[in-house]
A and B are shown apart, each in its own frame.
Chain A
Amino acid sequence: MKKTLSILLALVLAMGLLAGCDGGGKKTENNGDDIAPNSVTAEAQGEQPGDDDFLPADQVKVGFITLHDENSTYDLNFINAAKAACENLGISEDNYLIRTNIPEGQECYDTACDLADAGCNIIFADSFGHEDFMIQAAKEFPDVQFCHATGTKAHTEGLPNYHNAFASIYEGRYLAGVAAGMKLNEMIENGDIKEDEAKIGYVGAFTYAEVISGYTSFFLGARSICPSATMEVTFTGSWYDETAEKEGANTLIHDGCVLISQHADSMGAPTACETAGVPNVSYNGSTVSACPNTFIVSSRIDWTPYYEYAISAVAAGEEIDVDYTGTISTESVVLTEVNEQAAAPGTAEKIAEVRQQLIDEQVYVFDTSKFTVDGKTLDSYMADVDTDANFEGDTEVISDGYFHESEYRSAPYFDLRIDGITLKDEKF
């Protein structure tokens, strides 16, 4: 037993040495054909010292942690942004490490620490459930910056090297809602539906603030164009469950919804719409190739600006925002191309017009004069901004006539149940 082991060990060590000898070559593009020099040995060679006190941007070493790999649309969005940001900043492939398929458990802590060991100056994680484990790692490596997308705890944790980020995706949802409203109006004009039949269906994951904020802003966008619009929402209890999302969409269509949108990561709802011939407003990216007849437009978060901002801040030795909220103006919130085949005429122009109004702050998504809760207009609301076990409101978020979403922390906290939206299935 021992003998075999020692022979094996010796063999592998010998291989390691061999590999070490031919290391140090230049890193070529990894398109599958070239022989890529081993990054392990390259890591050990250290970086050239910069001329200044701070690191040149292209010498920052960056680590990325993702929940799944590129087969998930959610993670693909992060992976693409990571690669784009590193390329834009001139960071070579040796200097950024992407760890995929990291579950929301101790593995996340282990991986974050491992990346820090490997010399990363800044480490990003992409999934909500990674947060606590990133915090744990951040406490252990005070000199490394830890950035967590979609998390909620940075502003209460008080760690100088732990940061949250999100984007004002509600603005993107609002614009997508405008496209939906245009489509509803077109259907009413064509006589396909009556005015009071303009019901939107929405497939959500959980009754989580991020989802509530998403469908509410989408609905407000649609209603700003089609005043008679109503909405019905169902929840699947999972961020990714193709069957449940498909079933959810079918149930909504059966209930008389004439347009569907979703906040869940699979192709379930879009394909159900394509089969039923019901227009769909998508999320996370274009689904036009699979749904050429029903896809209208999609909103998504582009993480590239945040990655570039945070990495540049590390390079310059500057502090990273505790909570960073990317906006339409920073190009963090983007819409895909409008699919002319399914969208109402003039949709793209209308989106551009409203987009400008949002940027100029002529229009606010959560304008309190535009919605009611239990028949009343709100002039005050305490939102649960600080995450703790008792879900109580702790921060006043309504002032100047609108709900200040993603200002007191980056992750959404809009959780009002406004009139005009019925929730079908609130158990999640």
Chain B
Amino acid sequence: MSKRKALTWYQAWGIRLIAIVAALVVCAVITSLTTGLNPIEVYATMFAGAFGTTRRMWILGKEVAILLCISLALTPAFRMRFWNLGGEGQILIGALGTAACMIVLGDTLPNVILIPVSIIAAIGCGAVWALIPALCKAKWNTNETLFTLMMNYVATQLVAYYVIVWEVPKGSGKIGIINQSTEAGWLPVIAGNRYLLNILCVAIMTIGMYIYLTYSKHGYEISVVGESVATARYVGIKVGWTIIRTLMLSGAICGFTGYLLVAGTDHTLTTTLAGGQGFTAVMVAWLAKFNPLGMVLSSLLLIFLGRGAGEIATAFSLNQSFGDILTGVILFFIIGSEFFISYKLHFRGSGHKDKDVPETSPNSVTSGTSDGQDSENSKEKREDSANV
């Protein structure tokens, strides 16, 4: 096994395509063995579930936008090797800020003022939530993975508390749709579609994040700190400040995602509002190698698989877990393909010896974060290596 020189783009995508085809074949085998269904029908159903109608396309777009937005938020931190696993909590706290504005100020302020106020509140809440672990990291070098993770639980409990404070009716533990009759604080519906504005916001942010990371001085500083803190110090980058600034940006975008969820689509606040997407976004970002434009594709892939899995559950009266198994297999192959893009295998007698695996190998990190990967995958892994 040896590290490859950079492949041309079409060779790399060729390998990815082979991986996807192989994944589809393996899924087909699993499908016919375990359920007796025609796998092609199952794939067609998945596709219909995601793209079947105009409404489904919009729902897909809305969900991609939210997942992409969270991934965008995590990316600058990840590029700096700051493992922000607190996306979930930062979203919730942003959502809480938004809901607070909509509930408390909904009757007093017109939308022109209420909407900016809510946005500022959401962004501020998210930024503060990320700032706390960042400060501790910069000052005392605390472990950011654990710290951000635990902040999620604090945020969840805070939301749980306020849900009881604002519940309607009393004792139900549910807020319901906020300002359903007045629509105060709701993002306006543009061009007749209620999800379009969300999608546009995230599209603009994607391009903005790409430019920020690729062309700005800040983006460069982030990369240097990520590569080597010592180098960053040597060239005169204030490492502590870079960490704090970048994390505040990360938290602010997560907070804004919370805003989009409450004011843009769901118009309610629950502890499960983020729905685990703070973690799914980690995988989205890794799959795209922290390239904001690549994340459009990887988030599309994940949402497509999720929506498709739901449709399979309904159409074939299967449990949703079956769709999740297929999702896990497909993701495994896609992540595994990155290995073959980075490394070349030599068969016995070719003389090469193993080289070190770099610590950023996407294979080792991402496989742990995807929820659909269970024993099914380890089986695939064996098959996979046997084929090689």
Which residue from B168, B270, B313 sits with its C-beta under 8 Å from A100?
B313
**B155 CB to nearest A CB, Å:** 17
On whether the beta carbons of A114 and B56 are closer than 8 Å, the reply is yes
Interface residues of A in 71-100 (CB under 8 A from B): 93, 97-100
B352 beta carbon closer than 8 Å to chain A: no
Residues on the B chain within 8 Å of A104, using CB: 174, 268, 270
Contacts of B41 in A (CB 8 A): 19, 22, 37-38
List residues of chain A with CB within 8 A of the CB of B37.
Answer: 35-36
The residue in chain B whose Cβ has the minimal distance to the Cβ of A12 is B47
- Cβ B173 vs Cβ A206 within 8 A: yes
A residues 1-59 near B (Cβ < 8 Å) are 1, 3-5, 7-8, 12, 15-16, 18-20, 22, 30, 32-40
Cβ 8 A contact of A133, one of B170, B177, B316: B177
In the assembled complex, A132 has its CB within 8 A of some CB on chain B: yes
Are A206 and B172 in contact, with the CB atoms below 8 A? yes
CA distance A12 to B171 in the complex (A): 48
| A39: min CB distance to chain B, Å | 5
Chain A nearest CB, measured from B77 CB (Å): 26
B38 within 8 A of A: yes
Q: Given that A40-B48, A391-B170 are known contacts, is A132 also in contact with B177, CB under 8 Å in the complex?
A: yes
Tell me if B315 is interfacial: C-beta within 8 Å of chain A. yes
CB of A248 to closest CB in B, whole Å: 16
B-facing residues in A236-267 (Cβ within 8 Å): 237-239
The reply to whether B45 and A99 contact each other, CB–CB distance below 8 Å, is no
| Residue-wise interface mask of B (190-220) relative to A, using a CB-CB cutoff of 8 A (1 in contact, 0 not) | 0000000000000000000000000000000
Indicate whether A69 reaches chain B with its CB closer than 8 angstroms: yes
Sort chain A's interface into a size bin. Answer: 35 or more
B43 near A15 with CB under 8 A, answer yes
Bound CA span A361–B169, Å: 31
**Contact assessment for A114 and B169 in the assembled complex, using a CB-CB cutoff below 8 Å:** no
Of B12-20, B111-119, B146-154, B222-230, the stretch lying at the interface with chain A is B12-20
A18 touches B176 (CB 8 A): no
Chain A residues near B265 (CB, 8 Å)? 106
Asked if B25 is at the interface of the complex by the 8 Å CB criterion, the answer is no
Total contacting residues, chain B, CB less than 8 A: 51
- Report the stretch among A207-215, A285-293, A325-333, A362-370 that lies at the interface: A207-215
Distance (whole angstroms) from the CB of A192 to the closest CB of chain B: 35
B160 nearest CB neighbor, chain A only: A237
Complex contacts, B17 vs chain A, CB 8 Å: 4, 7-8
Q: Taking the complex as formed, is B368 at the interface, i.e. its CB lies under 8 A from any CB of chain A?
A: no
A36, closest chain B residue (CB): B316
Q: Which of A40, A237, A388 contacts B44 (CB 8 A)?
A: A40
Do A103 and B53 touch across chains, with their CB atoms under 8 A apart? Answer: no
Q: How many Å from the CB of B16 to the closest CB on chain A?
A: 7
| Contact across chains for B176 and A103 when beta carbons are under 8 A apart | no
B320 contacts chain A at the CB level, 8 A cutoff: yes
The listed residue (B20, B40, B56, B172) touching A8 by CB distance below 8 A is: B20
Q: Is A113 interfacial (CB-CB < 8 Å)?
A: yes
Q: Does A135 contact B (CB under 8 A)?
A: yes
Residues of chain B contacted by A160 (CB below 8 angstroms) = none
Q: Is B342 an interface residue (CB 8 A)?
A: no
Q: A7-B17, A12-B47, A106-B265 are in contact. Are A38 and B169 (CB under 8 A)?
A: no
Chain B proximity of A29: nearest CB distance (Å) = 10
Contact status of A114 and B53, CB under 8 A, knowing A106-B265, A211-B171: yes
Residue contact A208 to B315, C-beta cutoff 8 Å: no
List residues of chain B with CB under 8 Å of any chain A CB: 10, 13, 16-17, 20, 35-38, 40-41, 43-45, 47-48, 52-53, 55-56, 59, 160, 164, 168-174, 176-177, 180, 265-268, 270, 272-273, 275, 297, 310-311, 313-317, 319-320
Q: A69-B320, A206-B173 are in contact. List 9 more A-B contacts (CB 8 A).
A: A18-B40, A36-B317, A39-B315, A105-B270, A205-B173, A208-B169, A208-B173, A209-B171, A387-B169
Residue numbers of A with Cβ under 8 A of B are: 1, 3-5, 7-8, 12, 15-16, 18-20, 22, 30, 32-40, 69-70, 93, 97-101, 103-106, 110, 113-114, 117, 128-129, 131-133, 135-136, 152, 205-209, 211-212, 237-239, 384, 387-389, 391, 415, 427-428
